[in-house]
Amino acid sequence: MSFFRSEEHLARWLEQTNRQRGAVVPLRQVWALAKAWYRDPRDRLWHQRTRDQSQQVLSAAGLTGDFWELPPA
């Protein structure tokens, strides 16, 4: 994961490093995903997520499309 100040900053970095653009996600969306994804396993209600539950967490954070599709279980 890389962080950029702006689209222009990203464009310069891509040109300088000769890399292809991947998914670009605003920091607020990354934070929403992190809060939902990283739960406390010490919580007595904690349980490991299924693939579908994990996909729902991504979708709830607004991360949809082919890039964010988890492989079949």
At 8-51, the pLDDT tens digits run 999 999 999 999 998 899 999 999 999 999 888 788 888 889 99
* CA–CA dist 13, 62 (Å, integer): 25
Give pLDDT, residue 7: 93
CB atoms within 10 A of CB 9: 11
- Taking the model in full, what pTM does it have? 0.74
